[in-house]
Chains A and B, each alone.
Chain A
Amino acid sequence: MTTVAPTSTPTRRRNPQLLIGLTAVAVILLVALLAPLLATHDPVRVSGAVLQPPSGEHWLGTDRSGLDIFSRVVYAPRVDLLLAGVGTLLAALLGVPLGALAGYAPGIVGEAISRTLDVVQAFPFFILAMCLLGIVGGSLPNIIAVLAIVNAPIYARLMHSQTRTLRGRMFIDAARVSGCRPRQVILGHIVPNSLSPILAQMSVTLGMSIILVAGVSFVGAGVEPPTAEWGVMIGDGSGGMFTGQWWPVVFPGIALALTVVAFALVSNGITVANQQRSRRA
């Protein structure tokens, strides 16, 4: 009898990106949650003169309708995170099974799925989203659906290559010998072993979706004004950049960029953590 002693103990590796990213995301979520407490004014009601520069009364100034920018900036993540979050989740739920199927199904089926994905990806992301939303209208469910559709191919692609790689691993053969049916191999072994890159990609997609939502809202095809949303705010204030009223544009843009950076850090952190784990194994 050999008694098994762990040959390595799980040690906490340094992963500042993950730490900082998660902290920042937590702060942003908290801001969204506590927006009514943090906001100094009603985000969608006129609260002063138009285009006031930042002051003690209006910390970040007012926009051209006289709405308080600080209050709108703290309310915005409610809309942006909801849209991007649900859209990303749906995209992954749509793309992952499709990609796993394409990677696991032999020959013609897999080839057909991946060539179809090629075509869907040939449609420029932003133009397609803008076009779809222009046609169906920028209600929140529509925006979520469009985010899911334009992002799903990314997950299908990712899962396709993950499946292809993992299929050659012996533990997949072992699972089949153990009596797993294809569905059980995919759900029980391939998806769990792909979780890390999927999560990393989801974090990236979240950030990109926020930018996408802002972009379509900027041209008026997304979230409708006067909803507090960063892209709407930037679009509304854009004229001021030619005449010197920078604050309606600059502050929502900074808030948006910081949010995207936070998710990018989380994504990098997940990738690093995964590398650290596989190096240990």
Chain B
Amino acid sequence: MTNDETVLECAELVRHFPVKGSDKVVQAVNDVSLTFGAGETVALVGESGSGKTTVGRMILGLLAPTSGRIVYQGTALDEMDRRQRRDFRAGVQAVFQDPYDSLDPRRPVLASVREPLRRLELEESARDGTRRAMAALEAVGLAGITPKTRPHDLSGSACQRVGIARALVTRPRFIVLDEPTSALSPIARAEVMRSLHDVQQSTGVSYLFITHDLAVVESLAHRVAVMYLGRVVEAAAAGDVFGRRLHPYTEALLGSVLFPDPDRLDGFGVLRGEIPSPIDLPPGCAFASRCAIAGDDCRTAVPPLIDDAVAGHHVACIRQLSRSRDRQLASTLRKETP
């Protein structure tokens, strides 16, 4: 499904939150750039507090960036006119983390699913809106919803699929999935993942998949970006991230969640040390305080996210980058000197 057309792009996104009663700021997001192709799933992974949800909220227009641009179909979010703004609203949708909390408890779920059509004036009549809402619900495998069904009548996974139906009802091109499965039981999780996968297959929608669950990432994502304390530290095709994992943080993250096989733990770094406060970030690499291979040079400047020799594999680590380059160089040299 993936092709080269760019649906949405964010460039150098920064978001700082002022700390109440002080001149300091929380640096929630620093210099994050991401590009989303049509039909592509990009997973944004990281621990809680890494800024991944903030990135999602900025892309959705729920939070204004401190600086940086979000461009949807060629137009920047803050330069849109009324009509473009409406197209953006219809074209960029979201599924939220808590299935119960993301549906208004006072409203029938059918009204919640219909709401985007109604607010964005995309329905011909109330009847048309209701019909399309019902169709969206059926598309995610929910039958038997009546105009009176309310969120508390439904199970968690059914609620989450109502949320997906709401995100789909406007036929969006891009959906932000903010940990859509973290509040669900394993079986419900599988059901929701299957729904999401089917939807992408049939509509060609792009996903930004925000999660800390790497097992989920592997099954759905085409590309993966790893965030640590507000910055993307590694970004690559999903297979490359799992296979080559250049950044020591990615390595540690994989070590902390994947594979219940103790023998395989050896290859991965285990996280030690303190996470720096996002209010007082150290001058150099934010991960240096927990990194096994960090040296003094890591603590002087923030390492830029640089394209590794392998196409599309970006990493923000001066050691791994040079090591990888060395390896590359070594193999080239080996080839040249048989």
Q: Do A and B share a direct contact in the complex (Cβ within 8 angstroms)? A: yes
Residue among B62, B107, B119, B163 making CB contact with A184, cutoff 8 Å:
B119
Residue among A5, A170, A181, A281 making CB contact with B102, cutoff 8 Å:
A170
Asked if A243 is an interface residue, CB under 8 A from chain B, the answer is no
Q: Across the interface, do A4 and B153 meet the contact criterion of CB distance under 8 Å? A: yes
Chain B residue numbers with a CB within 8 Å of A2 are: 141-143, 158
Q: Across the interface, do B115 and A175 meet the contact criterion of CB distance under 8 Å? A: yes
Q: Across the interface, do A177 and B93 meet the contact criterion of CB distance under 8 Å? A: yes
Residue among B93, B97, B145, B155 making CB contact with A7, cutoff 8 Å:
B155
Complex CA gap A184/B116 in Å reads 12
- Tell me, rounded to whole Å, the shortest Cβ–Cβ distance linking B142 to chain A: 6
Chain B residue numbers with a CB within 8 Å of A5 are: 144
Complex CA gap A274/B251 in Å reads 49
Complex CA gap A179/B149 in Å reads 23
A170-B96, A173-B94, A280-B152 known; A178+B158 contact, CB < 8 A: no
- Tell me, rounded to whole Å, the shortest Cβ–Cβ distance linking A7 to chain B: 6
Interface residues of A, CB < 8 Å — how many? 28
Q: Across the interface, do A179 and B120 meet the contact criterion of CB distance under 8 Å? A: yes
Interface residues of B, CB < 8 Å — how many? 41
Asked if B5 is an interface residue, CB under 8 A from chain A, the answer is no
Chain B residue numbers with a CB within 8 Å of A281 are: 100, 105, 151-152
Q: Across the interface, do B105 and A178 meet the contact criterion of CB distance under 8 Å? A: no
Asked if A192 is an interface residue, CB under 8 A from chain B, the answer is yes
Q: Across the interface, do B141 and A179 meet the contact criterion of CB distance under 8 Å? A: no
Residue among A3, A174, A178, A192 making CB contact with B106, cutoff 8 Å:
A192
Chain B residue numbers with a CB within 8 Å of A171 are: 101-105, 112
Q: Across the interface, do B94 and A7 meet the contact criterion of CB distance under 8 Å? A: no
Asked if A90 is an interface residue, CB under 8 A from chain B, the answer is no
- Tell me, rounded to whole Å, the shortest Cβ–Cβ distance linking A10 to chain B: 9
Asked if A189 is an interface residue, CB under 8 A from chain B, the answer is yes
Complex CA gap A7/B97 in Å reads 21
Q: Across the interface, do B94 and A179 meet the contact criterion of CB distance under 8 Å? A: no
28 contacts between A and B (CB under 8 A): A3-B143, A4-B142, A4-B143, A4-B153, A4-B154, A5-B144, A7-B155, A170-B101, A171-B103, A173-B57, A173-B62, A173-B96, A174-B102, A174-B163, A174-B166, A175-B104, A175-B115, A177-B61, A178-B116, A178-B166, A179-B89, A179-B90, A179-B119, A180-B115, A189-B104, A193-B106, A195-B106, A281-B105
